[in-house]
Amino acid sequence: MKTFFALLVIFQSINLAHASWERLSTHITQSTYQDIIERLTGVRYIVTKSGVGKVRDRFAPDNMNLIRQYLIESLFDVGFSSIDSELFPMSSQGKRYWEDEQERPDGQNLTVEMEGRQHDQEIILLGAHYDTTGINRPGANDNASGVAAVLTIAQAFRKAMVQTNRRLLFFFFDGEERGFAGSRRFFEKARRRGANIRLFINVDMIGHSPQALLRASYDPRPFKSIGAFIEEVNRRFDLGFRLEAWREHMSDNQSGKRNGFPTVSIFEDGRQKNDFRTITYPYYHTPEDTLDKLDLQYATEVTRLIAGITYAAAETEETWETADFSCARYLAGHFNL
Ligand SMILES: [Zn+2]
């Protein structure tokens, strides 16, 4: 709760934005987050218009269909009127999962948007991947924790009817576990059509530990200032982020970065090949990545922080050219620090 009040205090100091943030943050609660993540991890039944069931993974085609239907209905329920659903062939790295190539299902990205008030052509994208690595792998931390955060935040923006200066995109990627297939598809197309994505915030594994294991990875060259901004927010929220410029978090952020978009990835470390110093979540990519390993109060606090970063990035009046965006000016002007 400490973080929650710290957030309130910080955002209370924003003059115009104060009321919006307060409305937004009241919808980011542990009970909302918990309800979502229990359904994503097969602890509770998913009930949709087209089917009912518990999902033991987000891998088997039947489970994926139910999960997609759940995400779509959860977004429609709070008033999103159109959901973009893009089917794409899974990358070749998917082949090892299916004996018969004919059985390889398509991937499917899901997106909803909220129009910007003034700078509608400038996009702030918040995304998480919803697939897991295999049958009976519920992927509670990787990455139901991130999906629940993005869905909770998307719903909060709609419920609170908060519109920001920039356009907001909430993204649910498929195929991250198979070569970042969904995000690669999306960002390659975005680059070709010249989409003005000002920041992609990727969320992948945020729910396990209240210790200082959460990291924010970013590329300092195009986006030094957003790193400094998150660092400042982090310090004041006392959440114990470790910020790592340049660190190669292997997740959908790679797709954003490779296509030239400013990207921040918020994550907990899993077991990484050839880097045993970073073992902090031993259940990574195993059937034991289950909901009981997570700390849902902590995950909700991290979700609030991510909501704050998303809101601030979408709301600031700064022109926000990547080269000269001034963190100090932003903080001084909008957070009254
Ligand atoms: Zn992941």
Question: From the centroid of its chain, how far is CA 66?
Answer: 20
Among residues 264, 259, 257, 270, the alpha carbon closest in space to that of 243 is found at 264
> What's phi and psi for 167, nearest 5 deg?
-75, 140
Tell how far the Cα of 115 is from the centroid of ligand 1, in angstroms. Answer: 28
Report the DSSP pairing between strands 197-204 and 46-48: unpaired
Tell how far the Cα of 255 is from the centroid of ligand 1, in angstroms. Answer: 14
Report the DSSP pairing between strands 166-173 and 107-114: antiparallel
Q: Please spell the DSSP secondary structure of 280-336, one letter per residue.
A: --TTTTSTT--GGGS-HHHHHHHHHHHHHHHHHHHH--S---TTT--HHHHIIIII-
Cβ(317)–Cβ(165) under 8 Å? yes
Tally: H helices and E strands in the chain: 10, 10
Helices 145-159, 30-40: crossing angle, 10 deg rounding: 130
State the amino acid at position 334 in one-letter form: H
How many residues in the chain?
Answer: 337
Neighbours of ion ligand 1 (CB under 5 A): 142-143, 204
Q: What is the pLDDT of residue 208?
A: 86
Distance between CA atoms of 108 and 203, rounded to whole angstroms? 18
Q: What is the pLDDT of residue 282?
A: 82
Tell how far the Cα of 297 is from the centroid of ligand 1, in angstroms. Answer: 20
Spans of the chain below 50 pLDDT: 1-2, 5-6, 8-16, 93-95, 212, 271-274, 276, 319-337
Within a 10 A sphere around the Cβ of 177, how many other Cβ atoms? 23
Q: What is the pLDDT of residue 332?
A: 37
Tell how far the Cα of 307 is from the centroid of ligand 1, in angstroms. Answer: 19
* Exposed/middle/buried for residue 304 (C-beta within 10 Å: 0-12, 13-18, 19+): buried
Q: What is the pLDDT of residue 229?
A: 67
Among residues 183, 57, 190, 76, the alpha carbon closest in space to that of 132 is found at 57
Q: What is the pLDDT of residue 209?
A: 75
Tell how far the Cα of 191 is from the centroid of ligand 1, in angstroms. Answer: 23
Token representation of residue 104:
């390889």
Q: How far apart are the first and last CA of the chain?
A: 22
Tell how far the Cα of 177 is from the centroid of ligand 1, in angstroms. Answer: 7
Q: What is the pLDDT of residue 111?
A: 98
- The model's pTM is 0.86
Token representation of residue 203:
């969320």
Ordered structural domains, the chain, with CATH = 2-335 (3.40.630.10)
Tell how far the Cα of 184 is from the centroid of ligand 1, in angstroms. Answer: 15
Token representation of residue 305:
């922080």
Within a 10 A sphere around the Cβ of 238, how many other Cβ atoms? 10
> 51 forms bridges with which residues in the sheet?
48
Angle, CA of 200, 202 and 193, to the nearest 5°: 35
Q: What is the pLDDT of residue 328?
A: 38
Cβ(205)–Cβ(276) under 8 Å? no
